[in-house]
Amino acid sequence: MARTRSRSRAALPPAKPVVIIGHGLAGLVAAYELSLHSIPTIILDQESSRTNTGGQAFWSLGGIFLVDSANQRRLGIKDSRELAMRDWMGSAGFDREREDTWPRRWAEAFVNFATDEMEAYLKGLGMGFLFNVGWAERGDGRADGHGNSVPRFHVTWGTGPEVVRVFEEPVRRAEKKGTVEFRGRHMVTEIIKDAEGRAVGVRGKVLQDDDAPRGEKTNRVEVGDFEIEASAVLVASGGIGGNVAAVKASWPVGRLGPKVPDNFVVGVPAHVDGKMIGIAEAAGANVINRDRMWHYTEGVSNWNPIWPNHGIRVLPAPSSLWLDASGKRLPPPYFPGTDTLGTLKHICSTGYDYTWFILDQTIIAREFALSGSEQNPDVTGKSIWQLITTRILGGKGPVPVQNFQKHGADFVVKDNLEDLVQGMNVLAKERNGPVLELDKIREVVETRDGQMSNPYSKDHQAMLINNGRLYWPDKRSRVAPPHKLLDTKTHGPLIAVRMNLLTRKTLGGIETDLNSNVMREDGSRFPGLYAAGEAAGFGGGGVHGYNSLEGTFLGGCIFSGRAAGRAIAEEVRPGSLSTKVAEQSRL
């Protein structure tokens, strides 16, 4: 989807502004692209534009999926467009003839963008990345199956706030010039259409001012009405991850049964409610793949919560011993950091909605990373000294991880296995879970430990650990040396963590063409209406298919937001971009 820009022509601005619904990352990217051509834009959001601009992206770790990047080449990682495309398609599992038509095209376009343009595009805006490239979603063990064949997870130096900054700053400059206007506390309830069916504006409710700190739940007191005419409307309002009722209503029991889980911790703020997807659908947008979602299996309750039922995802490396609620070891390939959806399916099949990690101090110090900008002050604050002293040279791990050990409701820390199991049973009782038997847990742990005496093994997890340490950055700073958990004198104390299901992403959404133009159910384009980011399934109504390779959510917001901004610019001011945008979307 590369486009060569021409100079903005000296033309009168559109008679009506472009309206963007959502001031998250996708909306900001689109607004940035529109601002390059001085196209008047109004950005609406139900949250305050003074405290919440950037949406979910602000809270992220800032991971970006790149292919054959400068850092990969520097580290000796041999990646390619062909390998990444094979990984993506093997993970996506597209199997729906009608609903996967545009998502498949978006997938191909996104991998090409991640290979050819995204790195230069982001660095040109001032973004940088950690030297080490992370290896997320290491796969299900099949060359043609799910997972990343090589490390591709590029953590932004500055995490989520930096991703937001590089787009928000130019948009704020456009605001000062009068080109862009932010209107927070404006909740859209209707997309207005004209007699020909074109989107020509929005209606909604003005909410009472509420400058609560970022992420906290705000009021929904209505104090007025609004109506805005628009030259085009972009829906960039996010998904349903903060709305547990909506998550449960969309839960695919046939794939992830036998029942909808009872308990979740919530990985996004309460305002991520998905309502705009339904409003767009009521206007005539086609919503597809709504049963495809991305929820994590390694969620812990935040001991210092910001939003209701706030959960934090643990990003684990492969060494922790993973047990189901009854104490049975999860079977291959369901090990930490390998196959999120496959592991979720297995956990749901047990009839319980939590599992256990058993590990020790050596493993937690090296292998526990916490998702979220606020949980990574060293990277968010761009402190090289703090990064080296806590993550590489320190034996206790980052301070936020230490705080969870001390205060986390899901953590048990003991000097011996007997006391550890007793503590686990206290937590199991809270969820009406099965009582764990010490002898059976000891047998599982000792069986695992017996495979750690040699650099070779028949145990799949031991092989995964040794394979991970062949990647030298992981050997130095991410994957602990293989050792026995019951060697508590060297590696103790023992630690157990109750891992909860954590809501996060909507993988389906509003169907769009490659220009982010919304599609109707009959396959025709909805004139004047666009969708980007999570509301559009990160592109097309489900660019990921069933599975994510990680780093693709921020990347998907950037790619789809850019496509929307450029296509709208071409529509409302023809000639803004020297490319045949409409022809491209019909490929």
**pLDDT tens for residues 279-290?**
999 999 999 999
Per cent of the chain over pLDDT 90 is 93
Residue 13: band (very low, low, confident or very high) from pLDDT cuts 50, 70, 90: low
Query: For residue 574, what pLDDT is reported?
Result: 87
Please tell me whether residues 90 and 221 are part of one structural domain: yes
Query: For residue 12, what pLDDT is reported?
Result: 53
Q: Say if CB 469 and CB 479 are below 8 A apart.
A: yes
Domain of residue 393, residue span: 247-267+297-502
Written as one letter, the residue type at 587 is L
Domain boundary among 482, 502, 522: 502
Q: Which letter does DSSP use for residue 586 in this model?
A: T
Tell me how far apart the alpha carbons of residues 267 and 505 are, in angstroms, rounded to a whole number. 9
For residues 176-198, give the mean pLDDT: 98
What's 179's domain CATH number?
Answer: 3.50.50.60
Residue 392: band (very low, low, confident or very high) from pLDDT cuts 50, 70, 90: confident
Query: For residue 192, what pLDDT is reported?
Result: 98
Tell me how far apart the alpha carbons of residues 484 and 471 are, in angstroms, rounded to a whole number. 22
347 Cβ partners below 8 Å, 6+ apart? 297, 324, 353, 355, 501
Query: For residue 571, what pLDDT is reported?
Result: 95
In a domain, 273, yes or no: no
Please tell me whether residues 496 and 512 are part of one structural domain: no
Please tell me whether residues 482 and 513 are part of one structural domain: no
Please tell me whether residues 449 and 511 are part of one structural domain: no
Query: For residue 306, what pLDDT is reported?
Result: 97
381 Cβ partners below 8 Å, 6+ apart? none
Please tell me whether residues 459 and 391 are part of one structural domain: yes
Tell me how far apart the alpha carbons of residues 365 and 354 are, in angstroms, rounded to a whole number. 23
Please tell me whether residues 312 and 168 are part of one structural domain: no
Query: For residue 10, what pLDDT is reported?
Result: 43
Please confirm whether the linkage preceding 161 is cis (ω < 30° from 0).
no
* pLDDT, tens digit, 9 for 90 and up, residues 411-446: 999 999 999 999 999 999 999 999 999 999 999 999
* pLDDT, tens digit, 9 for 90 and up, residues 213-254: 999 999 999 999 999 999 999 999 999 999 999 999 999 999
C-alpha angle with apex 54: 87 to 189, nearest 5 degrees? 100
Please tell me whether residues 381 and 453 are part of one structural domain: yes
Please tell me whether residues 59 and 97 are part of one structural domain: yes
* pLDDT, tens digit, 9 for 90 and up, residues 44-82: 999 999 999 999 999 999 999 999 999 999 999 999 999
Please tell me whether residues 322 and 467 are part of one structural domain: yes
Written as one letter, the residue type at 495 is I
- Closest CA relative to residue 159, chosen from 134, 176, 195: 134
Q: Say if CB 220 and CB 545 are below 8 A apart.
A: no
Torsion sign, CA atoms 122, 62, 305, 535: positive
pLDDT at residue 585 tops 80: no
Q: Say if CB 47 and CB 191 are below 8 A apart.
A: no
Query: For residue 20, what pLDDT is reported?
Result: 99
* pLDDT, tens digit, 9 for 90 and up, residues 128-170: 999 999 999 999 999 999 999 999 999 999 999 999 999 999 9
**Number of domains within the chain:** 2
In a domain, 78, yes or no: yes
Query: For residue 367, what pLDDT is reported?
Result: 96
Distances (CA, A) of 59 to 17, 160, 278: 30, 6, 25
pTM beyond cutoff 0.85: yes
Give the mean pLDDT of the chain: 95
Please tell me whether residues 312 and 231 are part of one structural domain: no
Query: For residue 14, what pLDDT is reported?
Result: 65
